[in-house]
Amino acid sequence: MSTPQSKSREVFIQGLTKDGKTFRPSDWAERLAGAMSCFRPGGGLRGPGAHIGYSPYCVPTVIDGVKCVVVNEALRDIEVMAWDFVMNFARDNNLQVIEACLLPEPGPK
């Protein structure tokens, strides 16, 4: 018997304020995700190239032309202060936040 997999939830912090204005500076998503880059499975990377890349729990992206940061709810379990930091960033800057659920990748047909 297989065990049901829990669905990971994600929060999309959009680069739009609640009144619809584009949030500035234009690189806000990369900056926010960069500040969270040390939160990775197995801890922060060390050595050459350790500064390159984002945490899989906090990833900048563009959706329908809007800069966003996708924050996986697992970050809260890893470090609640990091979770609070990103959520307070969104609240303090009046950014739109949308909750969603990760869908499994489609398997081979």
CA angle 40, 41, 46 (to 5 degrees): 60
Indicate whether 3 belongs to any domain. no
Indicate whether 74 belongs to any domain. yes
- CATH number of the domain bearing residue 66: 3.30.70.2340
Strand order in the sheet with 95-101: 58-63, 66-72, 9-17, 95-101
CB half-sphere exposure, 30, CA atoms < 13 A = 5
Indicate whether 95 belongs to any domain. yes
Strand partners, 7: none
Indicate whether 6 belongs to any domain. no
pLDDT at 84: 96
pLDDT at 100: 82
pLDDT at 36: 92
The pLDDT of residue 3 is above 80: no
pLDDT at 46: 55
Phi-psi region of 3 (alpha: psi -120 to 50; beta: other; left: phi over 0): beta
Q: Tens digit of pLDDT for each residue in 54-88? A: 899 999 999 999 999 999 999 999 899 999 999 99
The total domain count for the chain is 1
Q: Tens digit of pLDDT for each residue in 47-56? A: 555 556 789 9
Indicate whether 5 belongs to any domain. no
Indicate whether 108 belongs to any domain. no
Indicate whether 7 belongs to any domain. no
pLDDT at 48: 53
pTM of the predicted protein model: 0.77
Domain that holds residue 31: 18-42+53-101
Pairing of strands 95-101, 58-63: unpaired
Indicate whether 2 belongs to any domain. no
